[in-house]
Each structure stands twice: as structure tokens, then as C-alpha cells.
Amino acid sequence: MPAPPQPGDRGTDPRRHIPRTDHLLAHPAVAAASAAMSDRVVRDIVHAAQDRARAGRIPPEQVQDEILAALGDRPVTSLRPVLNATGVIIHTNLGRAPLSPAAREALQDAAGYTDVEFDLATGARSRRGAGARAALLAACPEAEDALVVNNGAAALLLATTALAGTGEVVLSRGELIEIGAGFRLPDLITSTGAQLHEVGTTNRTHLADYTDALGPGTGCVLRIHTSNYRIIGFTSEVPLAELAGPCRDAAVPLIADLGSGLLAPEPLLPDEPDVATALRDGADVVIISGDKLLGGPQAGILLGSAEVIARLARHPLARAVRADKLALAALEGTLVGAVPPVLDALRTDPAALQERTVRLAAELAATVVPHEGRVGGGGGAEVPLPGWAISLEPGLAGPLRTGDPAVVTTVQGGRCLLDLRCLPAEEDERVARAVAAARSRTVGEVDRR
């Protein structure tokens, strides 16, 4: 590495040989890169290379090569695609549900101008997201109407704000939930001025607890599914069907926040509540997330009676939390397309998964071990998904994460476990190459020591 130039070395100062900015920008490859990224980004890359030369970290003649390398390697986003080999289907840290081919196609089609709020036949303004709404109602006939907002928390915020205002939201103490990153749903509910009326105890809440709480100040009754934990033992909770009658008699809306996103019962998750059943049991509005078991984009979905959904849609907050055209398009594509990847992974046959795992393990000279997958994302709490994983050297977890492609595995019991449940079979060859590359990197690092 050359020594940094001294201020007095004007005659021999290598900085005098650093290529000028206008000359670098005029290079054909740099000019071509400017067509794919902003002028600011290109100039920042040029200036960064020049600054490295001025500091003496690279020689001036290397500036152009460094710029070309940086432009060639730079992705358009800092988000990296990841191969999920953890066995956790809805992995929040990895973006939850992977989109189906139909949803991805819908995203591409919606990337330009669309008729998201425009009737092409009449030339008049139309209802936003009419296609996604129609697809939801077709998939869940029990709902009279539907509304889509930008995420599940926004859906809960809108529902409690529009229905309760500054009145009371009646909620069991056993459902005062904290989810990831310290986010507490009671804090969300009270953030706009609603009052929380807690009933029952942590482990036992009875119908009388709810009925005693109903009064002139009650805005709504809220049931929240405890989707990512279980309270077992001496417990009691009130089924929606029993709670619906008193709420109806008191003219108090009943909200069911199910979270995980099942529109209909799923045999593999018999204890996971679904929208169709909740509506038949008397809920006025049901809330789910689009990017969980539904298998679509991030969205908060509200389904229920026409009167209640209309109240939510008219509230000023609905504008602040509305879904954008890309989410609406991807949601519609998810609903009308083939089975999404999330459900494919959930319903994977353990025997077929074992056969595929054994085949790849033989190629990698590795062993196969039983491994239980999980639903993840606050769904199917404590429900194991029997399966298999490839047991690799524990030191491979890091190199696999930082390789290309990035492969995220699980480290358990001193082993790096590679679970194929969430990966389509056509990715197996990429996984094999990634493992070989990770092993090569690991050996190289040991040799350098």
C-alpha cells in the first residue's frame, strides 16, 4: 500500500494523477450504469474511489477499475434474497411469506400505471382495490364485505378506533399480548384515546366477566388469538359463539383478531382459528395478516358485516393506513393463483421430504437427522411439523449465511441443520453448490491461519 502523500510533494504528488470526475463519468461502462441507477449514486461511487486514492489507500491508476467493479457488483436494493433452510415457514426475520408466482406476476403488472381507483369503462373514479376485495369475498363467502390496510397492527388500530373511539374496549387479561420487538397490543389500542377495560384473569375468563363489563361506555369487545404462545392447565376462555349473543343484545361490535391468516379450517392445524368459522360464530369483524398463513404480501385484512366494514372504511384513519397498489395486486394474485408456497411447505409430505433430503445429503457426504419444522410468524404455536434435515459441520452456518446465494440454517446441538421444507426442489442444486463453496471458504480460512 503506498504511503499517504505529503502536502509539500507537489511535483511528485500522485494525487495529481487521479482521473478527473468528468473523464470517469464519460467512460462507456460508467455512462451505461447511469442508465440503470441514479446520477447521484454513480457520482458517489466515483467520488468514493477518488477519495480512497487521495488518502493513499489505492494508487491513482486503480481508481477506474475500482469504480467499474463497484458499479458491476452493486444491486439495486440492499435487501438480499435468502434461501430459507431453517424449517420455519413464516420466518419474520426473513420477510414472512414468500410470494407465489401469480402474486409476483401481479406485482410486475402493477408496477406501472394501473386502474387501482379508476373505472376504464366509464372514466370515473372507482373503489380502491376492488379486485382484491372481490377475491377475498370469493375465498371467504361468510364475509359480507372486506377492507385491506397496510398491516395487521393497522387493522387492529383502525377497528378499535373506529368502533370504540374514546370509549371502552373490553378485553380479557389473558389476551394482553406482547409480540416481537417489545410491541404490546394494549399500548396500540390505547394510543388513540380508547380505554382498555380488562376482564377476567390471566388464565381464566368467563362469560359473566364480559357481560358484567358491557355498558353505555362500551365501544367494542375484542378477542385476540394468542397465536404465538399457549396457556395450559387450569384455564378457561369464552368461545366466540357464546360471546356473540350478549354483544348482539347490547349492540356492541365483536372483533376477533386471529392474526395468523387462515380463511378456512386447516386439518394440519386443528387448533388454529379461521375467518369463516369466526364469522359463522357471530364475530362482526375478523382481522388477519396477509403475509402469514394466507401466504401473501404484508397486509391487514378485515372481513365482516357490511355495516361494520363500511364504518371502518369511512373513518379518517382508513386513509392513513390504506394498502398500496402493489400489496393489493399481490394479495389478489395470491387468492386467485395456485396454492402459495407457505401452504405447500406446511403440507409437505414427511416421506417425500425425507427422500429429497437423503438424496441431497448423499451428494454432500452428510447425514440426515429428524427435524421438526414450525409454522412461525405467530401461527401454530407449539405445533411440530415432522420432517428431516441435513446435518452439516457447525462452522458452515456463517459461511452459508454470507455466501452467494445466502443460505440461512439452524444451529442445534453443535450441528448446522439444513432443512429443505421451505425450499422448492429446483433450489436443491443451488444449495449443494452453496455448501461446497462454504466448505471451500472454511478450509481456506483454516489454511491462512
d(CA 73, CA 81): 15
The CATH classification number of 82-90+344-448 equals: 3.90.1150.180
> What are the tens digits of pLDDT across the range 425-440?
999 999 999 999 999 9
Q: Residue 27 has what DSSP assignment?
A: S
Residue-level pLDDT at 445: 61
Residue-level pLDDT at 183: 86
In which element (H, E) is residue 355 found? helix 350-363
Beta strands 388-392 and 254-259 are unpaired
CB 190 within 8 A of CB 340: no
3-state secondary structure of 82: strand
d(CA 438, CA 392): 11
Q: Which residues contact 101 (CB under 8 A, 6 or more apart)?
A: 337, 338
At 304, phi and psi to the nearest 5? 175, -150
d(CA 38, CA 413): 47
**How far is the CA of 84 from the CAs of 88, 93, 105, 325, in angstroms?**
8, 11, 22, 27
Task: Tell me if domain 82-90+344-448 and domain 99-338 are identical in fold.
Answer: no
Handedness of CA 78, 79, 80, 86 (dihedral sign): positive
Q: Which residues contact 1 (CB under 8 A, 6 or more apart)?
A: 56, 57
Residue-level pLDDT at 68: 87
Q: Say if domain 99-338 classifies as CATH 3.40.50.1820.
A: no
H helix intervals, 36-129: 39-54, 63-73, 101-110
CB 175 within 8 A of CB 143: no
Residues of the chain with pLDDT under 70: 1-12, 73, 444-449
Q: Which residues contact 155 (CB under 8 A, 6 or more apart)?
A: 149, 257, 287, 300, 301, 302, 321
Amino acid at 255: I
* Domain definitions of the chain by residue range: 14-73, 82-90+344-448, 99-338
